[in-house]
Amino acid sequence: MEKQTREEIIDFLKSRVRNIPNFPINGIQFKDVTPLFSTEESLNKLSDALTSTYKDKKITKVVGIESRGFIMAPILAMNLNAGFVPIRKPGKLPADVLEESYEKEYGVDKIQIHKDALSPNDIVLLHDDLLATGGTMLAAYNLVRKSGVKEIYINFIIELEELNGRKIFPQSVDIEALIKFEI
């Protein structure tokens, strides 16, 4: 079997993202990532493509955001010989937590991480499935920064470029998205 280029792999993965019109509300074109996880071929290609970007970054912890960030973050952690840390909605973590609030289109929400989950020596990869407006990931980034880690990288499977989500982050933040869509 002939080795595929990174661009061919990304095109393969992009072709498997399902578009769901008018979900969860009218006018939204929802990008469904679940087909990327449904076959060994697509899951392996997705895992390899995400991992390759960070294999030389000395990542010590991969932090996944509830809930779709929980799918690939542990796989990335295993591939990078790192630990996995969840960021969750309030009331889901049993020990002492750090909390960050953020605004959504329809109100304020909060996310939490265990206070002892990260240390100043950690190099963190923050992962979620999709970058749209960026509010949730910015809150996650601020939450991880409160832990005083050494370095933070941010990664998404998909970016909706026209929503300009990456513009709300400081320019110094390393943000990568594997698949990019215009909406």
pTM of the model: 0.94
For residue range 44-98, list pLDDT tens digits in order.
999 999 999 999 999 999 999 999 999 999 999 999 999 999 999 999 999 999 9
Walk me through the domains of the chain, giving residue ranges and CATH numbers: 57-181 (3.40.50.2020)
Residue 154, Cβ neighbours under 10 Å: how many? 24
Closest CA to 161 of 46, 35, 31: 31
For residue range 115-155, list pLDDT tens digits in order.
999 999 999 999 999 999 999 999 999 999 999 999 999 99
Alpha-carbon dihedral sign for residues 3, 44, 42, 140: negative
Active site residues: 68, 105
